[in-house]
Copies of this chain bind each other. A is one copy, B any other.
Amino acid sequence: MLEPINLDHNATTPCLPEVIEAMGYWFGHAANPASPHQIGRKARQALEDARERIASRLGAWPDEVVFTSGATESNQSALLGLAPVLAGKSPPSILVSKLEHPSVATPIEILANRGAKLFPLPVSAWGEFEPGRLENVPPGQLLLVAHLAHHGTGAIQPLAELVGKISELAPNLVRAHTDATQAVGKIRVNFHKLAVDTLAASAHKFNGPSGIGIMLVRRGKPWAPQTVGGGQELGRRGGTPSVALVVGMAFALDLAHEQMTARQTRCMDLRRAFLNRLWASCSPLEVVGPAEGQGLAHTLLVRFAGVKAGLAVMGFDLEGVAASTGSACASGSQRPLPGLELLMADEAHRREVVRLSFGHEQTVAELEEAADRIAKVILKLRGGPP
């Protein structure tokens, strides 16, 4: 079997060697940052230092940073923690599109089961939110939920503007939450400038360790903790925080920011080389998402006309290319991307869409090789020359 080329970086990214090394020290030391003795204080210092670095990278205050086990917990905790806000007299409304990731969609469903009314946030054909198309202002206390960058299309949302426009249209807007999982570490993110109240992110999406995430909670905005336990994280998230994972995450985020421009340039080069090769060999194909240079360069949603995505992805796998049809979460899911119907009216077309996402640590040669392997599969499945 061929050494697989990973074009599924939006599912997870490899942790960088220097990050693994930095974590080793803290895994090897008994470090409970809640212990008031010397050993504990040293761990606490490392934890708080990491918190300050993360806060500064994300335009937040250190006391707005809460460490969680990942984006799923962050999204759920941020959304369900809105209880004090949503406990108004009339049922609250949530403005949210079907394009959100399952880790957002499932807590939204919980809120809906508790009485919240859902209203669709309009999106354009390539996945940008369009607040101008909002016809009626949803009643009651209004909550806006919107991703910052999309895991499938790579669309980057002008979130600050979106919040601004919604606020103008709807003076009853009381909270805004963003799932920034695919944005943090890839583009510059400024929590305060985004004008949202809560934000979710995960280290394993930016070459940090798996098992650790970030929830940002705006100062002075009432929010109810979902896990209390021993009262860690200023009472906002119980459980001994893993100093090793937090230190690794801070280091990975620092590296991502220091190398951001270089990584973005590299990904743009990879994208061009890859797409050129694909256009030449696999047309007709369609790229679903923002124009080049507008979205995440490393993310491509591609429709290979006439080829079922499930078969394509299996074929790619046999030829040593890892790709996906949507988010990896649900075990072995081959279902199309949630909300794809908003971007593509034709159901048959939606079944032909594959997500290809690469990483800055890859090379042009690797991406061209991947394109060649993909072409082999696509041509075979289209029944053309072998």
A139 within 8 A of B: no
Q: Bound state CA distance, A332 and B70, in angstroms?
A: 25
Interface extent on A, as a size class?
A: 35 or more
Q: A229-252, CB under 8 A of B: which get 1 and which 0?
A: 111101000111111110000000
A28 within 8 A of B: yes
A102 within 8 A of B: yes
A73: chain B residues at CB < 8 Å are 69, 227, 229, 239
A236-282 residues with Cβ-Cβ distance < 8 A to B are: 238-245
Q: A4-33, CB under 8 A of B: which get 1 and which 0?
A: 101011011111010110011001111110
A32: chain B residues at CB < 8 Å are 8, 11-12, 328
Q: A327 — nearest CB in chain B belongs to which residue? A: B230
A40 within 8 A of B: yes
A12: chain B residues at CB < 8 Å are 30-32, 35, 240
Q: A121-160, CB under 8 A of B: which get 1 and which 0?
A: 0000000000000000000000000000000000000000
Given A13-B30, A322-B38, are A231 and B102 also a contact pair (CB < 8 Å)? Answer: yes
| A106 near B228: Cβ-Cβ < 8 Å | yes
| B239 near A71: Cβ-Cβ < 8 Å | yes
A68: chain B residues at CB < 8 Å are 69
Q: Bound state CA distance, A359 and B39, in angstroms?
A: 15
A34: chain B residues at CB < 8 Å are 11, 328-333
| A20 near B30: Cβ-Cβ < 8 Å | no
Q: How many copies does the complex hold?
A: 2
Determine how close the nearest CB of chain B comes to the CB of A329; give it in whole angstroms. 2
| A106 near B229: Cβ-Cβ < 8 Å | yes
Q: A199-220, CB under 8 A of B: which get 1 and which 0?
A: 0001010000111100000000
A232: chain B residues at CB < 8 Å are 329-331
| B240 near A70: Cβ-Cβ < 8 Å | yes
Given A20-B24, A71-B239, A209-B244, are A37 and B322 also a contact pair (CB < 8 Å)? Answer: yes
Q: Bound state CA distance, A57 and B103, in angstroms?
A: 32
Given A38-B320, A204-B240, A210-B27, are A227 and B72 also a contact pair (CB < 8 Å)? Answer: yes
| A238 near B39: Cβ-Cβ < 8 Å | no
Dominant secondary structure at the A interface: loop
A19: chain B residues at CB < 8 Å are 27
A324 within 8 A of B: yes
A36 within 8 A of B: yes
Determine how close the nearest CB of chain B comes to the CB of A42; give it in whole angstroms. 9
Q: A310 — nearest CB in chain B belongs to which residue? A: B36
Determine how close the nearest CB of chain B comes to the CB of A320; give it in whole angstroms. 7
A291 within 8 A of B: no
Q: A29 — nearest CB in chain B belongs to which residue? A: B14
A95 within 8 A of B: no
Q: Bound state CA distance, A146 and B198, in angstroms?
A: 36
A323 within 8 A of B: yes
A93 within 8 A of B: no
Determine how close the nearest CB of chain B comes to the CB of A275; give it in whole angstroms. 21
A324: chain B residues at CB < 8 Å are 35-37
A299 within 8 A of B: no
Given A69-B69, A230-B329, 9 other A-B contacts at CB below 8 A?
A: A4-B37, A8-B30, A8-B39, A11-B35, A35-B324, A72-B238, A106-B228, A210-B245, A211-B245
